[in-house]
Amino acid sequence: MHKFLFVIDNSQIMILNVKFDVNIAFQAILRDQLERTGLNFRIGNLGEVEIFSDDTEKIAEARLMLKKFGISLVDCPKEQLVQKIKNVISGMIEMDQMPLSKISFYIGEQLGMNYSYLSTFFSEQTHTSIENYIILQKVEKAKQLLIQDFSLTDISYTLNYSSVAHLSGQFKKMTGLTPTAFKRIIAMKRESASATFVLG
């Protein structure tokens, strides 16, 4: 992971890349904001929140507070199931290494439901397939890891690609860039930022 030391008006400023776990960050924000409302709640698995109150004003307040962080409280059953599927996929991709079992088996097992049903339901509700959604999320994770200077071999292993070529092919299909070209652009932006901030 690269770090840069900038000097501005004789003061040193260090800029570091940030590594974070999406699930831990999400749960921390969710817990903090809900505690501020004074609601009694429990955070369950797969992004579920049980709120032990019918205080509509406090729940509305919680919705507004969470919205600032891009978090929505979903109470429509169909939307809830779509979000559960997305949460399982996000959690799977954030693992140190994705499950080696078939993804369809993993998702069905996590939700305790038939994968064929989940796949059809997801496509009907989102107009994209679970498979395509997984590819999009894997590519986004690959971008994060490239920014953190992981090698393509390590990324390929972490995201359970069959080869670096497979990773590169999906990455280019989704972004229009090869992973190498993406890394080059990030490096150029870092160098540009370094040149801009080192003012003497």
pLDDT, tens digit, 9 for 90 and up, residues 60-114: 888 888 888 888 887 788 888 998 999 899 889 988 777 777 899 999 999 999 9
Domain containing 75: what range?
A: 3-197
Distance CA 109, CA 24 (A): 22
Domain count, the chain: 1
Look at residue 1 in the predicted model and tell me its pLDDT: 44
Mean pLDDT of the region 172-195: 85
- CATH code for the domain in which residue 179 is found: 1.10.10.60
Q: Stretch 156-172: mean pLDDT, rounded?
A: 94
CA torsion, points 39, 34, 93, 45, in degrees to nearest 10? -10
Q: For residue 31, what are its two tokens?
A: 């817990």
Instruction: Say how many CA atoms lie within 13 Å of 47 toward its Cβ.
Output: 23
Alpha helices in 152-178 (DSSP H): 152-158, 164-175
State the pTM of this model: 0.68
Name the most confidently modeled range: 30-34, 101-105, 117-121. Answer: 117-121
For residues 1 and 96, the model is more confident at 96
Collapsing DSSP to helix, strand or coil, 38 comes out as: coil
